[in-house]
């Protein structure tokens, strides 16, 4: 075997897993395609000691610290697939390059697809967001929209009044029932049933089909998420359904349903953050080390 562990994905979760393994003097390869989920945002919030910092800077500093350990190797690129072999796994790095390892850690995150409304995508991470804890505070109690994508969006509509004056654009995807309307009224959320035509302006003004324009400081919506590695199921990893998309099922130690395969970060939870990814990564790293010490290959 070339390595004890190959980690697919070298962002917050993968680097955190790698740190534990490197500190246990294990041979680790990190393969990273360099497309962090939060690359659209200028600042990352809510992570201890790094609040408000540029998200790429947090990851870059973590990478430098990980690469100080001599048993760590790093490849920039995409793992095209992985397959179980006797005693471990092969990982296909493309162009005929294949590496072997006794264990795999999957930390490849998810990618987001947004509702197909003109003007939405280019504002993602700047004035269009998903997570109020990450980006709500900076809206300074201003005018906030929630663009519904399904009935789940009611939760956004009920939460966001804590961050500003909120309008829920149901956009034809659902009609709130009497009880939901009562809950929204209690929270002070305005419901706007007209269809949304486009998002425009410096922040995220909503243009409705009937021509009205609702000026906003920020807009929240729920993306659909998809796993960045389509080959996880071939490894025997079972998935769970989340409100935004499927994620890899793990136990509390971040072991997947496939022997020898661990998963951490956004790829392995219903909704993630930098802090949760780092925590999951630390757990996955320690659990992978435990498996190397005490379980058969
Ligand atoms: P990611 O950071 O997404 O990294 C996954 C890595 O794996 C990427 O580098 C990717 O290229 C790589 N990869 C994927 N497939 C492969 C492959 N086949 N081979 C090799 N490498 C691969 N969270 C906060 O806590 N605070 C915030 O302020 C915040 N703001 C956000 C803003 C936006 C717009 C978005 C979309 C998310 C935000 N988040 C924020 C959430 C945060 O980005 C994620 O929770 C976090 O990035 C998950 O970390 P991760 O390591 O699991 O995955
Ligand atoms: Mg990662």
Separation of CA 219 and ligand 1 centre (Å) = 21
Q: Please state the CATH superfamily assignment of the domain spanning residues 115-221 in this structure.
A: FAD/NAD(P)-binding domain (3.50.50.60)
* pTM strictly above 0.85: yes
Separation of CA 232 and ligand 2 centre (Å) = 15
**Closest residue by Cα to residue 16 from 49, 81, 61:** 61
Instruction: State the Cα–Cα distance between residues 73 and 16, nearest whole angstrom.
Output: 15
Question: What is the DSSP secondary structure assignment for residue 148, as one 8-state letter?
Answer: -
- Pick the residue whose CA is nearest to atom 44 on ligand 1: 273
Please give the pLDDT value at position 256.
98
Please give the pLDDT value at position 66.
98
Domain residue limits, the chain: 3-111+224-294, 115-221
Please give the pLDDT value at position 131.
96
CB 12 within 8 A of CB 62: yes
Please give the pLDDT value at position 272.
95
Could you tell me if the CB of 93 is within 6 A of ligand 1?
no
CB 191 within 8 A of CB 181: yes
Question: How many helices, marked H, and strands, marked E, lie in the chain?
Answer: 6, 19
Separation of CA 180 and ligand 1 centre (Å) = 33
Q: Would 3-111+224-294 and 115-221 be classified into the same CATH topology? A: yes
**Closest residue by Cα to residue 288 from 9, 22, 83, 67:** 22
The residue ranges of the chain whose pLDDT is under 70 are none
CATH code, residues 3-111+224-294: 3.50.50.60
């Amino acid at each position: 075997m070339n390595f004890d562990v190959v980690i697919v994905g070298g962002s917050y979760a993968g680097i955190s897993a790698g740190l534990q393994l490197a500190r246990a003097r294990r041979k680790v390869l990190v393969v990273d395609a360099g497309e962090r989920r939060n690359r659209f945002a200028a600042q990352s919030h809510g992570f201890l000691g790094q609040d408000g910092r540029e998200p790429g800077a947090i990851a870059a500093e973590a990478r430098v610290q990980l690469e100080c350990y001599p048993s760590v190797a790093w490849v920039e690129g995409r793992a095209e697939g992985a397959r179980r072999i006797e005693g471990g796994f092969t990982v296909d790095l493309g162009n005929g390059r294949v590496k072997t390892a006794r264990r795999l850690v999957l930390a490849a995150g998810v990618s987001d697809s947004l509702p197909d409304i003109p003007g939405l995508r280019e504002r993602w991470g700047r004035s269009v967001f998903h997570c109020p804890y990450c980006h709500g505070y900076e809206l300074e109690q201003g005018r906030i929209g929630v663009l519904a994508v399904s009935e789940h969006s009611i939760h956004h509509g009920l939460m966001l009044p804590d961050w500003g004056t909120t309008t829920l654009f149901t956009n034809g995807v659902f009609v709130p029932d009497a009880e939901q309307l009562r809950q929204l009224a209690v929270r002070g959320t305005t419901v706007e049933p007209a269809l949304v035509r486009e998002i425009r302006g410096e922040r995220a003004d909503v243009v409705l089909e009937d021509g009205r324009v609702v000026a906003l400081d920020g807009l929240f919506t729920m993306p659909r998420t998809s796993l960045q590695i389509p080959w996880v199921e071939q490894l025997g990893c079972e998935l769970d359904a989340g409100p935004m998309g499927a994620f890899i099922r793990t136990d509390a130690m971040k072991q997947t349903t496939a022997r020898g395969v661990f998963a951490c970060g956004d790829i392995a939870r219903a909704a993630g953050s930098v802090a949760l990814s780092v925590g999951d990564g630390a757990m996955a790293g320690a659990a992978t080390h435990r498996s190397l010490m005490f379980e058969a290959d």
